Structure formats: C-alpha cells, structure tokens
Structure 1
Amino acid sequence: MKLPFVLFASTALVLVSRETYAQGSEARTIQLDEVTVEGTREGQGGPITADGYVATSSRSATKTDTLILETPQSISTVTQQQLEDRKPQTLQEAVSYTPGVRVGGYGFDPRYDAFSIRGIDVTYTGVFRDGLRQVNSPNGLFRLEPYGLEGISIVRGPAASIYGASSTGGIIDLISKRPTFLPFREVEIQTGSYGRLQGNFDLSGPVTSDNTLFYRLTGLVRQAGTEIDAVPDDRVFIGAAFTWKPTDATTLTILGEYMDSTTGGTAAYLNNYATDAAGNPTSLSIGATRVFAGDPRYNDYRQRQGRIGYEFEHRFNDMFTLRQRTRFSALGTNQEYVYGGSGLTRENNWGIVSDTHLESRLRMGPVDHTILTGLDVSRLSYVSKQGFDAAIPVDVDPILSYREDQTQTLAGIYIQDQIKWQNWRLTLGGRHDWLTSEYDSARFEFDQNDTKFTGRAALGYVTDFGLAPYVSYGTSFTPKALLIRT
C-alpha cells in the first residue's frame, strides 16, 4: 500500500472545502485556476540522477557529477524505479540483469552476496557503499538489504586510480536511501512461497518548516523459509538518514543502518558419486541429491551488523567544492553447521573508512577542467574463532580451539583531471597507495608493508546523436591481505 504525498494534499483540500461550506450557504463562490502539482521521490541531487530505468549521471565512476554519456568507461545503473518494480530480495537478484555480472556461481547459498564482474570474483574486493570501501573479513561479509537502497552503480574495468585496492573486473557502488525534499510515505505487506511474510515501510520529508532539515526512515521485518527447510531467511532491518542544509552551498547527511539476519550455516546438498576401482561411476552413483547434507538442529547462521557515517559537502564558489565522507561499521557472526561433525565459527570485525577530496572546476581558453584531488584511509580489524568436533552431540557447541586476527590499514592519495574540449572528453588519473597489515594465528604470523601506484587514461568523443565511442586503459591491484584465506 503506497500513500504518496499527493494523497495527503488532496485530503487537505477537501477539509478546507468543507470548512468554507460550513461558514454558511451565503458564502460567495470563488472560481480558482487549475493548479497541477508534480513531484518525485528522487533524492536531493544524490550520487545518481535517473529518469525511470535510465540513469543520466552518476558519481561512482569519477566521484564527480558527470553525465554517463560523457564518462569514457563502461557503467550500468540499477535505478530506484527498477528496484521498486522488481523488488529484489538480495544483491544478486538486484544486479542479475546487468551486463558482465554473473551471479549464482556457488549455487544456492544465502549466506553471502557473492558475484563476479567480467569473470572476476569481486565479493571481497569490489563492493563499495556510498563511494566508500565496504570492509569485510573472511567470514564476516556485510549483507545487503535492497529495500534500503536508492540505486546501484556497476563500474566495469579497473577503478583503482580513485578507489585504491580493487578488482580489475570493476566495482559495485551501493547507494543508500537519502531524505527527500517532498513528504513521502510507503507501507507494504508481502507474502510468498515457503511461508514468507514481510512488512516494510519507507518515510521521508522535511522536519522543519524552513526546509533546512530532512529525514528518511526505512524499515523491514521478514520471516521466511527457503527451498531447504533447515535454511531460514529471516531479518530485521532499520535504516535512518538525516540531511541538514543550512544554505544552498552546505549539506550534511547522516546515514545509519542496523540489520539482524538469520539464515543457514550450510546450504549443502548430499552428493553421491559412487565409483568403482577404476574411477568409473557405478549403478549406485546418483550425483547431486535433494537431501540436505547438514542437520537442521544445528544450522543457524546469525549475523548482526551496523553502520553509521556522514557525508559533508561545501561549495565555496563556482570553482571549488569540498566533500568528505566517513563511515564506521561493525558486525558479528555466529555460524553453526554440521558436515561430518559439528562446526562453529564466531567472527567480529569493525572498520572505519574516510574519503576527503576537493573538486576544482576551471577553464583555460576553450578547454574545461574538472580536477579532483583527494585522500582516503581505511582501517579494518577482525577476530575469528573456530571449532570443530565430530564426536560431540549435534546440539552442543564445539570448543573454539582456533583463533586468528588481523588489522590492516590502507591509505591513498589521488588526482584526476577530466578535460572537456568541444566534443572530446579526456580523463587522466593517478593514485598511490600504502598498505600495512598485521596477521596473527595459531599457525603463523606475518606483517606486510606494500606500496602501489595505479593510473588511468581514457579518451571519448560525444556525438550529437547520443553515441560516445571511447578508448580506456587502467591498472588496479589487490594486495594479498585483502583476499579470503584458503
């Protein structure tokens, strides 16, 4: 059930009309001109500008407000309208129709948002949230609630020249819902297969009469099963955002989120590949079955996660604009599973990420420059404890006999120049990163200190009929400290 602001406006008009009529039948009739009010739910000039399914500009590829047609890089965008129409329940479903993105490579597994871009797995190294790196640990990956998003940008190809350590396949930038100028109210109730029952709401609008403070509150509660009886799909999600805009030149937005989700510790099916002495399948070999390989009595995977951060922007004049984004995030997991014995993994991670850059727009003769200079820093720490025992009862936790922990810091400085001359668009960028990492476990420990320079050069030509051919070259890197352990 959707209750857009137009409904409330109409109700107010009816109330006023009745009050006028109540003053007496002798009241003079006044003929008013017809007034048409149109509004949208789009944010306040956020990272994505779109018209329905078609995005016209995005900050994800360049960190500046650049038309997608004039960006010499392959970009796809899942807009707010598309998310509303398709109602995806996972990140994989949200990007499943995006060119170059492959989902479902691991089969049915609701524990992680795993996918690849251009054949390269980007689950750990290619996910960004609101332009900031999403820090993860080996068993602690942030899960996404699509209802909390207003858009998704998929940038294909190397983006390390402004984002630092990331995959050569590209990155995916998840854009959180932000407050809207106009009042908006939405309440939904959903039901579906496997006993699915879900309720969610989305509220937004101004807080003060002078239109300097705006809010948005988004929530979701779901209780559901899946195709495997022992694997639930339950979650509670709440997202809050506040925007303070004291002047047209200054904007501060606070973004927060919390989610408590429970699914299965393992989603494995039983496989029966019986072979003879020569390795050939026998009559007993039936391959993959529909039989659950775990034990429903000990198969919960519960994860609690939260984020809090801000985005600040100040435009000094038509030439200089300063932006800063900072976010703190933390999560905790408790994974129970049975596979040849009882296993338990408990992991906690926390991290802080910050990006500050100055955008300078200037004109030199017939050439326009948009120069971006910035610094970003991220720091992650995690602790993982694991236990496994094949001899204990199924409903008993094994002793957490193995522990590992790691702390890593990644800092980078970057510069980018977007050059515009007539129909030509030239983008040049470079970045230098410093990585430090400390790892400690029961088996070994190591320290790592690395530096890396990455760059990008791209040239495009924007035609008058909407075609923009381009050539692009870029480099990227992924330090071993950012990869999942094996």
Structure 2
Amino acid sequence: MNDPLPPRRPVRFLSTCASAALLTAAAPSFAQEGGPVYELSTIFIESAGPGDADSETTVASQISSGSGLPSDILDSSASVSVVTSAEIERRGARTTEQVLQYSAGVTTDFYGRDDRYDFFKIRGYDATTYRDGMLIGDAFGGVREEPFAFDRVEVLKGANSTAFGLADPGGAVNFITKNPTGERLREVYGTYGSFNRKELGFDMGDSFGEGSPFSWRVTGKIKDAEAETDESNDDESFFMAGLAWRPSDATTVSVVYDKLYRDGYPNSSGYPADGRDYARDLFLGEPDFNYLDTDRDTLTLKVEHDFGNGLSFGSTARYTKGTGGFGYVFLGSADLNDPSLTQRFYFANEAEFENFVVDAHLLYEAGFGAVHSRTMAGVEYRDNHRSNTLWYTPASSIDPDDPVYSGGLDLGSTAPYQSNTNDVNVTSLYLQQELSWDRVIAQVGLRHDWIDQTFRCHANAFGACPDLVEGAFDETTLRAGLTYKITPELSVYGSYAESVVPASFSDANGFDLEPERGKQYEIGLKYRPETMRALFTASVFELTKYNQTVTDPDSLLAEPVGESRVRGLELEAKAEVNDQLSFTAAYTYLETEIIQSDNGANNGNELPHTPKNQASVWVNYLVPGAGRRGDLDLGLGARYTGEYWTSTANTDQIDAAWIFDASVGYEIADNTDLRLTVANLFDEQHVAQKGFSSNYYNPGREINLTLNHSW
C-alpha cells in the first residue's frame, strides 16, 4: 500500500507536452552548462515517490491536455478528467467505453452491445480521439482502441481546437501511450471469464544495460473469446514495441510501432421491437455473415531536445494504415406475408484508411520580474485518406421462436448502395501563451488551419452522386482562459473556446463542405486539499455547434441538424481518503436543444443519446493483510443513466437505468494478485437503442478472473 500522503515540497519536473515536446523547468539541474539560467516560479506537485505514478494512484496531479501546455491540474483553465492505469486496473475496465464510464460529462453504452466502434459522447456531441496529442479521428466510425496500450486516458471537456486541432465542441479523449522509460518493468497477466474468454498479456521494458542510452519496451495481448450472443466471437491480438535513445539528459529520440487486429462481431442483428423480452444469447442473424474486422499498423517517431536557457524543441510524426469492415444481418418489421416472421437485411461495410500527421514546435520559458511566461509556437500537417463502401440488400425472413439460417452474402455479386472516397489535408500554425504572476494564470491560444477537402462519390442509391466535390477553407480558432488561485488548494477559472471540424457528407445537405464550428463558455472550481490525495471539481458551461450533422447509427448516413446548444453542470470527485478507502464520483446535468434543424421540423427537440441526468460512484476499500493473509481490495460501483431520445425526431425514448459493477482483488504473494471483476453485477437488461424496427440491449453481466504477476 501507499504511504500516507507526504507533505508537498517544491520539485523540478520533466513533463511531456501534448504533442510530446520535452518541457523543462529552467533550473540548474536541467540547464546546459554555460549561459544564463532563468529561475522560474516553483511548481508544487506531490513528490515523485511511490503513489504518484499513474500505476499507483487514481488521483492525477499533472495533465498534458487542456491549454496545450502541460501543467498542474489546478492551474489549467479547462475541465479535464484523468483515468489512470491504476483506476483502469481496479475497475477491470477492458474497453474504452468501460474506461470512461465513471467520468463526468461522458455518455457511454447508448448503442448497447454493438462492438463496431467506441460509442461515447462528451457533453452531448461526438468525441474526437487523440493519441499523445496527435489526431486519431472520430470515436464514432473509427477504430476501437486497446486500453492496455495506454498509461492514462485524459478526457478534455469542451471546445478546444487550439490545443490539438480539429475537434468537436463537446470534447476530446487523449490516450497517453506506454513508452520506453529506461526503468525495469516486468508484468504478465492471464484472464479467464464469461463467454469462454481466454486472454494473455504482457508489458515489459528496461534499458540495454547499466548506463546505456538505449531503452526498450514491449506490450501486447492476445484474446480468444466468444460473445454473449450465439454464433459470435470476440478475438483480438495487439502488439507494441518501442525503442528510445537518450544520448544526454537534453535529448530523447524514440520510435514506437504497434499493430492492432480485431476479429469480433458487429451487433448480432438486434431483437424484434414487438414488446417482448428476448434472451441476450438469441442470434437472429446469419452465422456465415457476422463479422467485424480491423487490421491497423501505426508507426510513431518522436524527437525531443532541450537547448537550455528555457528553450526546448519537440517533434512527432505518426503514420497509420489499415483496413476495417463488418457484415451482419439486422432486423426489420414483421413480414407482411407471415406476421410470425421478421424481415431481415444484409448490411456490410468495407473501409481503407491511411493517415499521416507531423508536428514540430518550440517551447520557451522565461521570467520577467514577477511575471513568468511559457510560450509554445508550432506547425502541424495532416493528410487523411479514407475510402468507404456500404452494401444493403434483403435477406430471408426469420422466426424468432424457431430461427432457421439460410446463409451469407457474396459481396462481389451485389452492387454497393454507397461508395465514396474522402481526402482531408490540413496545415496548421498555432501559438499557446501562458502568463502567471502571484495567484493569476492567464492562458491564450490561437490556431489557424488551412483545410483542403476532396470528396469523390462512386455510388449512392439514395440521391445525388457527384464525381468530385472540393472545398478549401481556412479557419482561425481562439481559446482564452483565466485562473485565480484563491488558496494553494483552491482555484477558480473561466474560459472561452472555439472548435472546428471538416464537414460530414450527405446528399440531404447538398454535399455541403462548410466546416462544422463550435464555441463554449465555461466557469469552474477546483479543490485539492492538503490533508489527503484528492481532487474535487465543478463546472458550468454553455456550448453551441453550427452547421452540425448527426450520423445515423444504423445506416451510417449523415443527417443535417443545423444549430444546436448544450448547457450543463458537471461535478466530479476523486479521493484517496486514507490507505484503505478511495472513491470516484461524478454527476452530469445536460440541457440540450436543436436551435435550427435543416427543415425546421426538429426545432426545439433534444439531441439524441444525451440524458439530462447521469451519475456514478465507485468505492474501493482495502482490508490489510495479516500474517499469511494478503491484502483484500473490495470495489463496488453504481452508474445511473437518465432517459434519452434515440433520434433527433424525439419519437422514441430510452428509459432510465441503474447498472452496478464490482471488483475483488487479493494479494496472493508479493507482486502476485488475483482480481475478480463483474460488469453489470445484477445482469440488468434494458433497451439501449432502437433502430430499424429493432431493439438493442445494454451489455449483459460479464465476469472475469485475472492473475497478474510482476517482477
């Protein structure tokens, strides 16, 4: 167990900024020999001893998201929730949605057991995902990330295109990759659980010898599992290898390669919307046409150098290439010829994507009397390519009480109903400025993006299909925030932020290429008591999005909305009360409204998949070991999701629900632990989404037993 919280003391620290620059406080121990040294204000953080690493505590002190500059979480004028690897392990979270379930402002599970994408929203809007500050893409429609690859997950709430670039106004998720550190690391685990789940994983790293400038790290897992629906599987293999070279304290060069392969299932057809309750394992699709494939390769190169005298340089380049696709049968209404049968339709997707992004910037720290300054200026280039093809065709009807399968579909013999290619090139210049004096911290960010977008339509059965649509836009976004430290433990802040993302294509809006823009006003309060390791935050906000489109979860087609607004309140607490008791709690209130829809029909309606009220709490209690008995760690969580609409038309509503989770960990021996985790403890079953005459249930109870050993 961690020692009791030590008193804070001033320390100099080395931190990685959002785009992986090396930030160095200009102090003698980090300065190059020769030249003047600028003595900046002391930054108080908890000592870098046991309990401060993300693997040891659920309460983070530092963030790399927010203003774009790494900072103490109390000094940032942004609302950021951090889920550390320690919290992920204690809750047994194994998907991105599970990682985010207990964070304020985040809505998950609104599309049930569908495993095509990471389904989550932040403050009512689709979330943009980043990795070490570099764009991955939209969570909806993108690749499901592997949480085991990351040391922590930072949830940045609100509009903030100046920090990382193109993003929706609701917020973004920034995954922080496990990188070589030079420290010895040996960890292996094995899991067996529900649906015949068998999983092995490892995370190992070290230097190449005492005093060697080279270090390495390899992380991976392999999973062989079925799914809760019959005729469905949930397999995965993931491997990541990193090499770092540190020829001096001032320079780091690292390269990381990772490969993700998933062989899962999409949504296993759903269930008839006839008012009956069905068993979750009932399969009404086609065994030979029920797949979800992802094959992605990523290569990342980072260069960091400290010139001394407060000046440092950082650059990151990342190349990603992959394919993805799914095929399944979804249900329609009752068959007109035989009402005891349910209509079915084949639905399939094939996609190819290739992305390249490179960022380079300079960071300068200086002191001018009582004023302390941090300035970051940089340039970024992104080249994103994606081709997407969709198929849709009728399948034979089926009897839910006596299902008889008829076979799969040969995509080569069926014409697609939609096929397109989308290329987006973005060149960006950005500037981040922070000034601090006494108790005041001012942050301002400016970013200018030149967006070139090309859309080619190859097939579209639902409307127009232009051979070529091109658009070129340049957008300037602003972020300004002010923080006042009432006491060293308490800060209050206010901010204004803007966002921009490229357009979503739809023949319904005339393939309009005008970007989607957003803005947000926010005020908040942060409290970190001296007496225990804890953080309490509160924020109220209003954000607006313009030229908005919403993607239909069933058809994957863009539906124009126009203008919408979200007003809300978020409360969040993370605390390690003492060596035995810790908890995480969150509450979110969101009031959403469609201000101007495409034809006015939905004006005044609420945004879909966005409950007004959400709440969660997770409590861990440690029973210390005695004699031959090891520590016993008991965890229990509860999540409440209020009512929400399934579409912008506000015709179907999902009922409110409570879900409970549990975790029990036992220390078998030194560095060897056994953990039992149960998601949806009481196997609560309710409709989470209503589609084309189909219902989709929330994920059912899942039990996993994991043996972990480190040395």
Q: State TM-score, norm by structure 2.
A: 0.58
Alpha-carbon separation, structure 2, partners of 1:216 and 1:382: 31
Alpha-carbon separation, structure 2, partners of 1:205 and 1:84: 22
State the shift of 1:150 in Å: 0.5
Q: How does 1:119-138 map to 2 (within 5 A)?
A: 119-122=124-127, 126-135=128-137
Judged with a 3 Å threshold, the aligned counterparts in structure 2 of structure 1 residues 55 and 133 are, in CA distance, closer, same or farther, namely same
Find out whether 1:232 has 2:245 as its counterpart.
no
Alpha-carbon separation, structure 1, partners of 2:137 and 2:159: 19
Q: How does 1:446-485 map to 2 (within 5 A)?
A: 446-481=469-504, 485=557
Q: How does 1:89-100 map to 2 (within 5 A)?
A: 89-100=94-105
Tell me which residue corresponds to 1:286: 276
Q: How does 1:207-356 map to 2 (within 5 A)?
A: 207-273=208-274, 285-286=275-276, 290=280, 291-339=282-330, 340-356=344-360
Question: Which amino acid in structure 1 is aligned with residue 410 of structure 2?
Answer: D
Find out whether 1:432 has 2:459 as its counterpart.
no
1:253-290 Cα offsets, whole Å, 9 max, x none, are: 212110111111333322233xxxxxxxxxxx537774
State the shift of 1:293 in Å: 3.8
State the shift of 1:148 in Å: 1.0
Alpha-carbon separation, structure 2, partners of 1:198 and 1:312: 35
Question: Which amino acid in structure 2 is aligned with residue 373 of structure 1?
Answer: A
Alpha-carbon separation, structure 1, partners of 2:494 and 2:325: 47
- With 298-307 and 259-268 compared, the bigger mean Cα shift is at 259-268
Find out whether 1:200 has 2:196 as its counterpart.
no
State the shift of 1:86 in Å: 2.5
Structure (1 or 2) with the greater strand fraction: 2
State the shift of 1:222 in Å: 0.5
Query: Given that residues 295 and 322 in structure 2 are in contact (C-alpha distance below 8 angstroms), is that contact kept between their aligned partners in structure 1?
Result: yes
Query: Given that residues 338 and 394 in structure 1 are in contact (C-alpha distance below 8 angstroms), is that contact kept between their aligned partners in structure 2?
Result: no
1:406 pairs, out of 419, 422, 444, with 422
1:364-421 Cα offsets, whole Å, 9 max, x none, are: 2211110111111111111223333436963341235333111111121111111110
Secondary structure of the equivalent of 2:220?
strand
Query: Given that residues 305 and 330 in structure 1 are in contact (C-alpha distance below 8 angstroms), is that contact kept between their aligned partners in structure 2?
Result: yes
Judged with a 3 Å threshold, the aligned counterparts in structure 2 of structure 1 residues 92 and 265 are, in CA distance, closer, same or farther, namely closer
Question: Which amino acid in structure 1 is aligned with residue 92 of structure 2?
Answer: K
Find out whether 1:88 has 2:93 as its counterpart.
yes
Q: Which runs of 5+ in 1 are unaligned?
A: 1-42, 274-284
Query: Given that residues 67 and 78 in structure 2 are in contact (C-alpha distance below 8 angstroms), is that contact kept between their aligned partners in structure 1?
Result: no
State the shift of 1:99 in Å: 1.0
State the shift of 1:46 in Å: 4.7
Q: How does 1:385-424 map to 2 (within 5 A)?
A: 385-390=389-394, 394-399=407-412, 401-402=415-416, 403-424=419-440
Judged with a 3 Å threshold, the aligned counterparts in structure 2 of structure 1 residues 129 and 457 are, in CA distance, closer, same or farther, namely same
State the shift of 1:472 in Å: 0.8
Alpha-carbon separation, structure 1, partners of 2:209 and 2:146: 29
1:101 pairs, out of 98, 103, 106, with 106
- With 294-303 and 81-90 compared, the bigger mean Cα shift is at 81-90
Cα RMSD after superposing both structures: 2.3
Judged with a 3 Å threshold, the aligned counterparts in structure 2 of structure 1 residues 120 and 388 are, in CA distance, closer, same or farther, namely closer
Alpha-carbon separation, structure 1, partners of 2:145 and 2:166: 21
Query: Given that residues 269 and 329 in structure 2 are in contact (C-alpha distance below 8 angstroms), is that contact kept between their aligned partners in structure 1?
Result: no
State the shift of 1:136 in Å: 5.8
Secondary structure of the equivalent of 1:469?
strand
Tell me which residue corresponds to 2:76: 71
Secondary structure of the equivalent of 1:371?
strand
2:63 pairs, out of 39, 58, 61, with 58
Query: Given that residues 126 and 140 in structure 2 are in contact (C-alpha distance below 8 angstroms), is that contact kept between their aligned partners in structure 1?
Result: no
Q: Which runs of 5+ in 2 are unaligned?
A: 1-12, 19-52, 331-343, 397-405, 460-464, 505-514, 516-548, 552-556, 559-711
Alpha-carbon separation, structure 2, partners of 1:359 and 1:460: 21
- With 476-485 and 255-264 compared, the bigger mean Cα shift is at 476-485
Alpha-carbon separation, structure 1, partners of 2:327 and 2:252: 44
Judged with a 3 Å threshold, the aligned counterparts in structure 2 of structure 1 residues 137 and 83 are, in CA distance, closer, same or farther, namely closer
Secondary structure of the equivalent of 1:341?
strand
Alpha-carbon separation, structure 2, partners of 1:265 and 1:96: 21
State the shift of 1:45 in Å: 4.8
1:46-93 Cα offsets, whole Å, 9 max, x none, are: 569656111111222233331111111111111122223223111011
State the shift of 1:478 in Å: 2.1
Judged with a 3 Å threshold, the aligned counterparts in structure 2 of structure 1 residues 287 and 182 are, in CA distance, closer, same or farther, namely closer
Judged with a 3 Å threshold, the aligned counterparts in structure 2 of structure 1 residues 272 and 53 are, in CA distance, closer, same or farther, namely closer
- With 244-253 and 387-396 compared, the bigger mean Cα shift is at 387-396
Query: Given that residues 482 and 493 in structure 2 are in contact (C-alpha distance below 8 angstroms), is that contact kept between their aligned partners in structure 1?
Result: yes
Alpha-carbon separation, structure 1, partners of 2:251 and 2:67: 21
Query: Given that residues 67 and 77 in structure 2 are in contact (C-alpha distance below 8 angstroms), is that contact kept between their aligned partners in structure 1?
Result: no
Alpha-carbon separation, structure 2, partners of 1:246 and 1:91: 36
Q: State TM-score, norm by structure 1.
A: 0.83
Query: Given that residues 166 and 477 in structure 1 are in contact (C-alpha distance below 8 angstroms), is that contact kept between their aligned partners in structure 2?
Result: yes
- With 249-258 and 259-268 compared, the bigger mean Cα shift is at 259-268
Question: Which amino acid in structure 1 is aligned with residue 421 of structure 2?
Answer: D
Alpha-carbon separation, structure 2, partners of 1:310 and 1:463: 41
State the shift of 1:338 in Å: 1.9
Query: Given that residues 343 and 388 in structure 1 are in contact (C-alpha distance below 8 angstroms), is that contact kept between their aligned partners in structure 2?
Result: yes
Alpha-carbon separation, structure 2, partners of 1:271 and 1:155: 38
Tell me which residue corresponds to 2:587: none
Alpha-carbon separation, structure 2, partners of 1:384 and 1:111: 15
Query: Given that residues 326 and 349 in structure 2 are in contact (C-alpha distance below 8 angstroms), is that contact kept between their aligned partners in structure 1?
Result: yes
Tell me which residue corresponds to 2:368: 364
State the shift of 1:423 in Å: 1.0
Alpha-carbon separation, structure 2, partners of 1:87 and 1:325: 32
Question: Which amino acid in structure 2 is aligned with residue 459 of structure 1?
Answer: L
